[in-house]
Structure 1
Amino acid sequence: MDFALKEDDGFTYIDEGQGPTLLLLHGLMGALSNWEKVIEEFSPNYRVIIPILPIYDLPLLTTGVRSLSKYVHKFIKHKKLSNVIMLGNSLGGHVGLIYVLAHPGYVKALVLTGSSGLYENAFGGSFPRRESYDFVKEKVEYTFYDPATATKELVDDVFATINDRAKVIRILAMAKSAIRHNMKDELRKITMPVSLIWGRNDKITPPEVAVEFKELMPNSELHWIDKCGHAPMMEQPEEFNKYLKQFLDKLEK
């Protein structure tokens, strides 16, 4: 990925293109590269911004989804952003949901893909054994419909992360925070346009999660991507971008 990382007042982020703002929020084990095809597709007509969420940098006692939402608000205010279209994958979607409930005036619309917030089956129900590379590989492959999407580089990154004790403690704390923070009773308050773009073969936030999100949010639409797991923008980027473009085009009418 050839996009430049910017650093400014303690924030690290990608900021590409000009136009309406797309703010992308990555997941718990996600990297900025997860959004590479979205940046390539939309930066000619949109300003695509991806902040690195401080998952590993928060004090342990405040490591949780609410703290990440507060961080996003500080970032949005620092960058003087408004009318943001927010996209979130996995934990990033959960952070986006908390954010739009707290600060609806800053966000025009929301896109969720494989979002937590209702139910998630992290790592297939068990946390990877740190010493076992094969076990980690198997769990990363579980994220996708096609195991080949779990490249060696991706597995190596996850393996290195979970063998860092300070990081793994925060990953566990963040995952527990996400599970505890069930949003079922709050979602009806989200009345802005919401697009749900979901892998039909997602085993971490399975299809019934997407259906429940659709039922609970009054102004939402749901699109399925076949042969696709938990990260559609990585595994089926052309399909993902097609549905995202349809949604963005509708917002501009």
Structure 2
Amino acid sequence: MEYEIKQHDKFRYIEEGEGQTLVLLHGLFGALSNFGPLVDFFKNHMKVVVPMLPLLEMDILNTSVSGLAKYVNKFIDARGYKDVHLLGNSLGGHVGLVYLLRNEPQLVKTVILTGSSGLFENGMGDSYPKRGDREYIRKKTEYTFYDPAMATDELVDEVFEITNNRLKVIKIIALAKSAIRNNLGEELNRISIPVLLIWGKNDNVTPPFVAEEFKKLLPNSELHFIDHCGHAPMMEVPEEFNKILLNFLQRQGAIATKVS
């Protein structure tokens, strides 16, 4: 996926297409490439926006789920987006939920969560991050997917580079601890807008019972499981993911119903 990265004040992002706004929030080791097939499809029907979340660039005091939620709030405000459909994967879903709960914005019409943290998540292991051991990083990256072949050399290299930087490791640990502390179980019933949950049946990081708990706690939610799929359905099974999302957005009036 080759898209222009735009700059507005301190914010870097991509923005493609026209219509209601679909904002995509990536996870801890996420990147633009995670959303490639999603952007390619939905840019023809909506305005698709991917902010570059400063996961490892913020000062250590603000390196938290709440700090990232504040960043998202400032970004959406600076860009003047309305009719927002907020989609988050993994930590990105958690950040999106905190943004909603802390700001109570009237701008967001729906939320889409896939493999979201916020209730429970398995970490990468007690010894993680383990610096200098590329094979260890490969195995932990493979753990994210149902099909280990999804952990390409390029993806493993990206994670390996991050985990070999001491300051970045400190910030990864800070974010992981913040996610664990920031459990949203007692607050989710305040979110009354429509929520779509798309979950891999073989998700090792946020297992299926997590999706079922989100479904129980979010009063206006629907849950779709995808078989033979891990923690990042939009990467691993993009066609099925896009089909479920399209149907949901059509029913919410975000996209013309004639789209197929």
TM-score range, shorter chain: over 0.9
1:145 aligns with: 146
1:116 aligns with: 117
Alpha-carbon shift at residue 173 of structure 1 (Å)? 0.2
Distance (Å, rounded) in 1 between the aligned partners of 2:6 and 2:141: 28
Q: Is the 8 A contact 1:128 1:135 kept in 2?
A: no
Stretches of structure 2 lacking an aligned partner (at least 5 in a row): none
SS at match of 1:117: coil
Q: Is the 8 A contact 2:20 2:82 kept in 1?
A: no
Distance (Å, rounded) in 2 between the aligned partners of 1:140 and 1:128: 12
1:177 aligns with: 178
2:39 is aligned with 1:39: yes
2:2 is aligned with 1:2: yes
SS at match of 1:23: strand
SS at match of 2:189: helix
Alignment of 1:1-253 (within 5 A): 1-101=1-101, 102-124=103-125, 126-252=127-253
What do the CA deviations read for 1:118-176 (whole angstroms, capped 9, x no partner)? 00002255413111100000000000000000110000000001111111111110010
Q: Is the 8 A contact 1:124 1:203 kept in 2?
A: no
AA matched with 1:106: L
SS at match of 1:122: coil
Distance (Å, rounded) in 2 between the aligned partners of 1:50 and 1:145: 25
Q: Is the 8 A contact 2:21 2:47 kept in 1?
A: yes
Distance (Å, rounded) in 1 between the aligned partners of 2:168 and 2:126: 19
RMSD of equivalent CA atoms: 1.0
AA matched with 1:222: L
Distance (Å, rounded) in 1 between the aligned partners of 2:129 and 2:237: 26
AA matched with 1:65: V
How many pairs were matched up? 253
AA matched with 1:166: L
What do the CA deviations read for 1:67-126 (whole angstroms, capped 9, x no partner)? 100000100011001120000000000001111112331210000000000000022554
What do the CA deviations read for 1:179-222 (whole angstroms, capped 9, x no partner)? 10000000011110000000000000000000000000010000
State the identity %: 56
AA matched with 2:219: P
What do the CA deviations read for 1:214-234 (whole angstroms, capped 9, x no partner)? 000010000001100000000
Distance (Å, rounded) in 1 between the aligned partners of 2:126 and 2:243: 32
Distance (Å, rounded) in 2 between the aligned partners of 1:148 and 1:124: 21
Distance (Å, rounded) in 2 between the aligned partners of 1:141 and 1:106: 37
Q: Is the 8 A contact 2:144 2:205 kept in 1?
A: yes
Distance (Å, rounded) in 2 between the aligned partners of 1:106 and 1:121: 32
Distance (Å, rounded) in 2 between the aligned partners of 1:6 and 1:13: 5
Query: Structure 1 runs of 4+ off > 3 angstroms?
Result: none
Q: Is the 8 A contact 2:129 2:169 kept in 1?
A: no
Q: 1:119 to 1:126 in 2, by over 3 A?
A: farther
Moved more, 94-103 or 225-234: 94-103
Q: Is the 8 A contact 1:17 1:45 kept in 2?
A: yes
